[in-house]
Amino acid sequence: MGADKEIIVALEFGTSAIRGIAGKKKPDGTIQILDIEQERTTDAIQRGVIYNIDKTTQAITNIVERLNTNLNIKIYRAYVGISGQSLHSAGNYISRGLEMKVKITPELVDNLMDNNRNTQYSDSQILDVVPQEYVVGNRTIADPVGIQSDQIEARFVNIVAKNTLVDNIHKCMRMADIEIADLFISPMALADVLLSDSEKRSGCAMVDFGAGTTTVSVYNGNLLRHLVVIPLGGNNITNDIATAHQMEFEEAESLKRKYGIAYVAAESDTPQQLAISNDRTLSENELQNIIGARQEEIILNVWHQIENLSSRLLSGIVITGGAAQLKDMPEAIKHFTQFQKVKLAKSLITTTDVGAGVTTPQGNSIDTLIALLMHGENNCIREATDREETPEAEPADVEEKKAEEPAPAEEKKPADAEEKKEKPKKPKGPSLGERISKWGKAWANIFTEPDED
């Protein structure tokens, strides 16, 4: 299949919606978005974790079918992002004492990595590993190979999640009859394309404000230092509004989006009265008080994760995600944390080529989905569906002539004919799925997940 026919497909499992995207990588490295589809979810996914297998499977099937129909393709696999409240980083140290001073070899470093990957965590598994530094003697260095020492300590950041987080993704994709091309850690994939090399090097915190969760990723020295998913998001604000004024979630969400402000310095002396259901009104001041109280809680939870590292965040805090679109969100963070280097990330939509007829939401709500697409490397479709249709039957007299003619001798195919058929390109190195299988099950999550349905 030629490069012009190669299409990459990615799926994101969010609390508010499951989204699918299809696109192409152009020769200059940019991405062309061909189509975006989504299914709204209410009780299938909670805080980024799949709880209703059947509903999630049906949503995947619906999304894939619409992509197939709109683009006249046949999707058989997709790249998938992993997020969810149990996802977090865990620091680990592996020390090795040597009998005498020897030159540290690549084999010794690899052995330390293997020992780290074999670390066991209860009910959880290691999804990825980010090597940090090595302590050799009294020196902390990035690469110890070639140095003589009788002692070495390797420091790692393991990305860990509960087994059910990954298992349920595999179940749903298998039931939808879609292969997993590879599994990506969603916040890490997003940081790779959203943050600049300078921001990662000098230090910054990327905060992705979602519907059900808020993800904090801290970078310094070009390395991920800390990752955690906080089980609070924009839906908590919406629920507070709905509960306080006895209205449907959709109405509360509409009020929040239209009139909501993340931080208001002072109440209005003449607040607007907002019309709500059942011929009632809601004071604008009261709405902002509800939003502000929950927004403060979410921001302070974020600050708790990064406060001790704030002096190393020379590039500040970069915010993204659907819930980050609430008006004056950077100002709210500055007020509640007294940390002044805060900015809203530029949407990835602005750096991509969006195909004609493709509807894209405003802001950063699909940045993670685009990031997953940008990380995909291999074609995810088979031949176009019109080529799979059964050919029309030939006229009867043609069939009769064929019956009279002797059957041609069966052509012998070279033994290696099948091997010469074009095969999908394999990802470089072992996939995350293979690494998950190798590394085994892992440590309990720092946050408590709700029981599965």
Q: What are the structural domain ranges in the chain?
A: 3-84+164-195+346-383+427-439, 88-160, 228-344
The gap from C-alpha 100 to its chain's centroid, in whole angstroms, comes to 46
pLDDT for res 403: 45
pLDDT for res 337: 96
CA angle 226/371/327 to nearest 5° reads: 75
pLDDT for res 432: 58
Q: Which CATH architecture has domain 88-160?
A: 2-Layer Sandwich (3.30)
pLDDT for res 354: 84
* 146: Cα within 13 Å, side-chain hemisphere: 3
Tokens of 210: 């979602």
Residue 306: strand, helix, or coil: helix
d(CA 217, CA 210): 14
Under DSSP, the state recorded for 177 is T
The gap from C-alpha 47 to its chain's centroid, in whole angstroms, comes to 13
d(CA 111, CA 134): 13
Torsional sign, CA 110, 112, 118, 122: negative
How many CB atoms are located within 10 Å of the residue 28 CB? 6
pLDDT for res 394: 46
| H-helix or E-strand spanning residue 400 | helix 396-404
Exposure class string for 383-399: b at 16+ Cβ within 10 A, else e: eeeeeeeeeeeeeeeee
Q: Which CATH number fits domain 228-344: 3.30.70.270, 3.30.565.10, 3.30.420.40, 3.40.50.300?
A: 3.30.420.40
> Which regions in the chain score pLDDT beneath 50?
1-2, 385-404, 407-428, 436-453
pLDDT for res 307: 96
d(CA 40, CA 59): 8
d(CA 323, CA 365): 8
- Strand 148-162 to 179-185 pairing: unpaired
In sequence order, the 6+-apart residues with CB closer than 8 A to the CB of 6 are 24, 25, 378, 379, 381
Tokens of 429: 């190195």
pLDDT for res 424: 46
pLDDT for res 30: 85
Bridge partners (DSSP) of residue 180 are 78
Tokens of 262: 């993340």
d(CA 203, CA 267): 36
Contact in structure between 44 and 51 (CB atoms under 8 Å): yes
pLDDT for res 429: 52
Domains 88-160 and 228-344 share a fold: no
pLDDT for res 410: 47
- Beta strands in 1-138, from DSSP E residues, in sequence order: 8-13, 17-25, 31-40, 45-46, 49-50, 74-75, 77-82, 88-103, 124-136
d(CA 314, CA 200): 10
pLDDT for res 98: 86
Q: Which CATH architecture has domain 3-84+164-195+346-383+427-439?
A: 2-Layer Sandwich (3.30)
